[in-house]
Amino acid sequence: MPCSAVTLSLATIAAIVSVALLSIAFSTDNWLSYEVKRNNIQNYAAKHPDSQSLLESVNNKYFYYTRTRGLFRICYPKERPPASAVEIYLSPVETHCSNVDYFPDLDDEKTLQPNDDAITRLHLARSCVALFILSFVSVFCAFWTGLSGCWRRSAGAITATAILMLLTCLLAAGAMGLWHTVEFFEKEKVVGEEFYQQWTNVLRDNTRISYDWSYVLAWAGVASSLIAAILLSGAAVCLRSEREKEEQLNLQYLMPVYPQKQPPYAYGGYPQMYPVHPYHGSQYGPYNY
């Protein structure tokens, strides 16, 4: 079996796996998991009468509830906050969720005016989603160039597909980098009371934050797209080498044979001389008897 066929098959599998993983990660809500020990916080508030505001927050603020967070939704697998705290609806996978607001109303009097760090974090979060969308556009273009390259066995089209898959990898990796930057802002900068930096000490001590399976799938999708790009580059090299071998083999059957025109030679390598009669009409001379 030619190496191009094997390499193209493996590259196709890697590309399909990459698209599937990135799509699942992009659309699911399990990037970060917040495990909140509400009982411990409620017991602390009950033992400290001066913590009345803490008790109200436990019952009315969504970030005092166990939740998972994705790019677009925050979901509550256990208890869910009251409707007065956040707008909750039933997601397609039958979990109660609320939307992540990428376009907050900054002119609303009820919300605090964000500082520079909060605005930067918001722009970074939007850019993260935009890069993921661009990566899907790139892999869509790679699908058509790859289909054309496999159909015509064109090394140039396969090379273009490899470049597009590498672009997909870079865009998705850039999106993941922006996501980690947003996470850094939420942990280290003052960007809102619902984020770690402005949590109370009681909430910090009783909340466990961990990466969830959607996050793992996203990085696995980035790695798969890189593997697909490398395999497609190898397939293009194989196609070129196979094409060169076919051309060399065809040349052996298409050697040109030219007719050789040269005067006849007598013995000894000298040309044979014939007598020339002065009179072309006579066989024996100028007189006919």
To which H or E segment does residue 15 belong?
Answer: helix 3-27
pLDDT digits (tens, 9 = 90+) for 182-241: 999 999 998 888 899 889 899 999 999 999 999 999 999 999 999 999 999 998 888 888
Distance CA 248, CA 252 (A): 7
**How far is the C-alpha of 214 from the C-alpha of 70, rounded, in Å?**
8
Strand locations in 7-138 (E) = 32-36, 67-69, 73-76, 89-90, 96-99
Provide the pLDDT for residue 55: 82
Contact between 233 and 30 (Cβ < 8 Å):
no
> What is the distance between the alpha carbons of residues 158 and 20, in angstroms, rounded to a whole number?
21
- Locus of tokens 């899907």: 136
- Distance, in Å, from the CA atom of 192 to the CA atom of 215, rounded to the nearest integer, reads 23
pLDDT mean values, one per 10 residues, the chain (289 residues): 76 94 95 94 82 83 93 92 86 85 71 79 95 96 89 86 96 97 93 89 93 96 96 88 73 57 52 52 48
* Exposure class string for 100-120: b at 16+ Cβ within 10 A, else e: eeeeeeeeeeeeeebeebbeb
Q: Is 67 helix (H, G, I), strand (E, B) or coil?
A: strand
- Domains of the chain are 3-103+116-242 (1.20.140.150)
What local confidence, expressed as pLDDT, does residue 254 receive? 58
Q: What is the pLDDT of residue 232?
A: 93
Residue 36, classified by CB atoms within 10 Å of its CB into exposed (0-12), middle (13-18) or buried (19+), is buried
CB 70 within 8 A of CB 62: no
What predicted TM-score, i.e. pTM, was given to this entire model? 0.80
Say which residues have a Cβ less than 8 Å from residue 69's Cβ, sequence separation at least 6. 29, 31, 32, 33, 34, 75, 100
Tell me the average pLDDT of the chain: 84
CB atoms closer than 10 angstroms to residue 210: 9
| pLDDT score of 260 | 56
- How do residues 17-40 score in pLDDT, each as one tens digit? 999 999 999 999 999 999 999 999
